[in-house]
Amino acid sequence: MVPSKNRLAVSCPTEEQNLIKELVALSTTEQIRKIRELPVSFEEKKHVRLVESSKGFFSKYVTGQYFALYLSFIQKCKEDVYLWVLLCCFLPLQSIRRFGYNIKSARQTLQLWQGIMKEIGGKFGSSVLNYFVLLKWLLLFNIFSFLVNFGFITIPLLVSDLSPNVSPNVSFRGLELLTGAGYFNHTIMYYGSYSNETFRGLVDYDMQLAYFFTISVYMVLCGLVLIFSMASSFKKNYALADQASNSAWQLLCSWDFSITNEKAVNQRKNNLRIQLMESLSEKAHRERQTTSEQLKQYGIYFGSWLLSTGLAVGCGASIFFLCQYEDEVRKSTYCCRNPEAETLLVPFVVSLMNMVIPLFFSLFNKFEQYSSQRKQIYALLFRNVLLRISILGVLCYYWMNMVPQKFTCWEPIVGQALYRLVIVDFIFLMLGSLFGEFLSNVIGTRIQPRLGVPEFDVARNVLEIIYAQTLAWIGIYFSPLLPVIQILKFFILFYLKKVSLTHNCQPPRRSGRAAQMKTIFIFLLFIPFFVGAVSIVAYTAWSLTPSEHCGPFRGLNSTFSVIGEWINDVDKVSSTEWVVWIYQNVIRSEVFYFLITLIILVIIYIFWQLIQGRKELIVLLRKQIANEGKDKSFLLDKLQDLQKSCPKVNKKQKKRTTVCFARFYSKFICLQFFCCCCCFCTLPNVLFFFSTQADAQLSAPLEISPTQTRWFRFYSLASSWRKRRDAAPVAFQSRRTFPPPAP
Amino acid sequence: MGNKQTIFTAQQLDAYQDCTYFTRKEILRLFYRYRDLAPQLVPLDYTNHPDVKLPYELIGSMPELKDNPFRQRIAEVFSEDGEGNMTLDDFLDMFSVLSEMAPRDLKAYYAFKIYDFNDDDFICKSDLEKTLNKLTRNELTEDEVKMVCEKVIDEADLDNDGRLSLEDFQHMINRAPDFLSTFHIRI
HEC secondary structure over A159-173:
HCCCCCCCCCCCCCC
Angstrom distances, CA of residue A591 to CA of A578, A581, A594, A596: 19, 15, 5, 9
Average pLDDT estimate for B134-154: 85
Average pLDDT estimate for A1-9: 43
Query: What is the nearest CA distance from B51 to chain A, expressed in angstroms?
Result: 13
Which residue in chain B has the smallest CA separation from A38?
Answer: B106
User: How would residue A739 be classed by pLDDT, with cut points 50, 70 and 90?
Assistant: very low
Whether B121 maps to a domain, the answer reads: yes
Nearest Cβ partner for A670 among B23, B67, B170: B170
Which residue in chain A has the smallest CA separation from B115?
Answer: A252
Write out pLDDT tens, residues A449-505. 777 788 888 888 999 999 999 999 999 999 888 999 999 999 999 999 999 998 888
Whether B2 maps to a domain, the answer reads: no
Whether B138 maps to a domain, the answer reads: yes
Q: Judge whether A331 and A282 are in contact, CB under 8 Å.
A: no
- Name the residue type at position A428: F
Q: Judge whether B161 and A629 are in contact, CB under 8 Å.
A: yes
Write out pLDDT tens, residues A522-563. 888 888 899 999 999 999 888 888 888 888 888 888 888 888
Give A557: exposed, middle or buried? Use CB within 10 Å, 0-12, 13-18, 19+: exposed
Average pLDDT estimate for B11-21: 87
Report the alpha-carbon distance of residue B115 to residue B131 in Å, rounded. 7
- Name the residue type at position A21: K
The number of helices, as runs of H, and strands, as runs of E, in chain A is 29, 2
Nearest Cβ partner for B184 among A257, A276, A673: A257
* Percent of all residues in chain A with a pLDDT value above 70, rounded to a whole number: 74
Nearest-CA neighbor of A273 among B74, B120, B135?
A: B135
User: How would residue A56 be classed by pLDDT, with cut points 50, 70 and 90?
Assistant: low
Q: Say which DSSP state A587 is in.
A: I
Are residues B87 and B52 part of one domain? yes
- Name the residue type at position A527: I
Angstrom distances, CA of residue A314 to CA of A223, A386, A390, A464, B113: 31, 12, 9, 20, 58
Using a CB-CB cut-off of 8 Å, the residues of chain A touching B148 are 247, 251, 276, 280
Are residues B148 and B125 part of one domain? yes
Report the alpha-carbon distance of residue A698 to residue A350 in Å, rounded. 76
Angstrom distances, CA of residue A296 to CA of A293, A301, A302, B67, B154: 5, 9, 10, 46, 34
User: How would residue A6 be classed by pLDDT, with cut points 50, 70 and 90?
Assistant: very low
Nearest Cβ partner for B92 among A42, A256, A262: A42
Are residues B90 and B26 part of one domain? yes
H helices of A244-344, in order, are: 246-252, 262-287, 291-331, 339-342
Q: Which of B98, B115, B144 is the last residue of a domain?
A: B98
H helices of A398-527, in order, are: 403-406, 410-433, 440-442, 458-478, 482-504, 514-524
Q: Do B167 and A255 touch (CB under 8 A)?
A: no
Write out pLDDT tens, residues A196-240. 778 777 778 888 888 999 999 999 999 999 999 999 888 877 766
Are residues B86 and B56 part of one domain? yes
Are residues B94 and B14 part of one domain? yes
Write out pLDDT tens, residues A80-97. 555 555 555 555 666 777
Residue A709 has pLDDT above 50, yes or no: no
Most confident among A439-443, A537-541, B176-180 (mean pLDDT): A537-541
Q: Do A236 and B177 touch (CB under 8 A)?
A: yes
Whether B3 maps to a domain, the answer reads: no
Q: Do A260 and B63 touch (CB under 8 A)?
A: yes
Are residues B154 and B86 part of one domain? no
Which site among A253, A278, A519, A667 would you substitute to test the B interface, given the most B Cβ atoms closer than 10 Å to its Cβ? A253
Are residues B123 and B92 part of one domain? no
Are residues B148 and B120 part of one domain? yes
Using a CB-CB cut-off of 8 Å, the residues of chain A touching B177 are 236-238, 240-241, 513, 515-516
Are residues B146 and B82 part of one domain? no
H helices of A63-175, in order, are: 67-76, 79-110, 114-124, 126-149, 155-159
Whether B51 maps to a domain, the answer reads: yes
The interface predicted TM-score of the complex, written ipTM, equals 0.87
Q: Is A371 on the interface with B (CB under 8 A)?
A: no
Nearest Cβ partner for B155 among A43, A247, A257: A247
Per domain, the residue ranges of chain A are: 4-107, 124-557, 600-646, 653-696+703-732
Average pLDDT estimate for A269-292: 74
Q: Judge whether A713 and A721 are in contact, CB under 8 Å.
A: no
Query: What is the nearest CA distance from A60 to chain B, expressed in angstroms?
Result: 19
pTM recorded for the entire structure: 0.75
Q: How many domains does chain B have?
A: 2
Does residue A230 come out as left (phi exceeding 0), alpha (psi in the -120 to 50 range) or beta? alpha
Average pLDDT estimate for A67-78: 52
Query: What is the nearest CA distance from A13 to chain B, expressed in angstroms?
Result: 20
Q: Which of B53, B75, B98 is the last residue of a domain?
A: B98
Nearest-CA neighbor of A111 among A139, A131, A145, A149?
A: A139
Using a CB-CB cut-off of 8 Å, the residues of chain A touching B184 are 257-258
For A334, phi then psi, to 5°, come to -75, 130
Are residues B93 and B19 part of one domain? yes
Average pLDDT estimate for A668-695: 52
Task: Residue B51: give its domain's CATH number.
Answer: 1.10.238.10
Most confident among A80-84, A219-223, A411-415, A692-696 (mean pLDDT): A219-223
Q: How many CB atoms lie within 10 A of CB A457?
A: 20
Radius of gyration from C-alpha coordinates of chain A: 34
User: How would residue B100 be classed by pLDDT, with cut points 50, 70 and 90?
Assistant: confident
Nearest Cβ partner for B24 among A1, A105, A273: A105
Q: What is the DSSP string of A329-347?
A: HHHSSSPPS-HHHHTTHHH
Query: What is the nearest CA distance from A590 to chain B, expressed in angstroms?
Result: 43
Q: Which of residues 495-534 of A touch B (CB under 8 A)?
A: 513-516
Report the alpha-carbon distance of residue A422 to residue A6 in Å, rounded. 58
Average pLDDT estimate for A113-138: 86
Using a CB-CB cut-off of 8 Å, the residues of chain B touching A122 are 186
- Mapped onto helix, strand or coil, the DSSP state of residue B79 is coil
Q: Which of residues 250-269 of A touch B (CB under 8 A)?
A: 251-262, 265-266, 269
More confident residue, B98 or A694: B98
Residue A312 has pLDDT above 50, yes or no: yes
Are residues B115 and B76 part of one domain? no
Are residues B143 and B124 part of one domain? yes
Residue A699 has pLDDT above 50, yes or no: no
Q: What is the pLDDT of residue B30?
A: 92
- Cα dihedral value A507, A511, A513, A514, nearest 10: 20
Q: Which of B75, B98, B121 is the last residue of a domain?
A: B98
Using a CB-CB cut-off of 8 Å, the residues of chain B touching A241 are 175-177
Q: What is the pLDDT of residue A65?
A: 42
Which residue in chain A has the smallest CA separation from B81?
Answer: A3
Stated length of chain B: 187
Report the alpha-carbon distance of residue B122 to residue B125 in Å, rounded. 10
Write out pLDDT tens, residues B27-55. 999 999 999 999 998 888 888 888 889 99
Using a CB-CB cut-off of 8 Å, the residues of chain B touching A98 are 10, 14
Q: What is the pLDDT of residue A665?
A: 56
Angstrom distances, CA of residue A600 to CA of A29, A597, A605, A607, A615: 36, 5, 9, 11, 23
What residue numbers bound the domain in which B74 lies? 10-98
> What is the greatest pairwise CA distance in chain B?
61
Using a CB-CB cut-off of 8 Å, the residues of chain A touching B122 are 739, 742
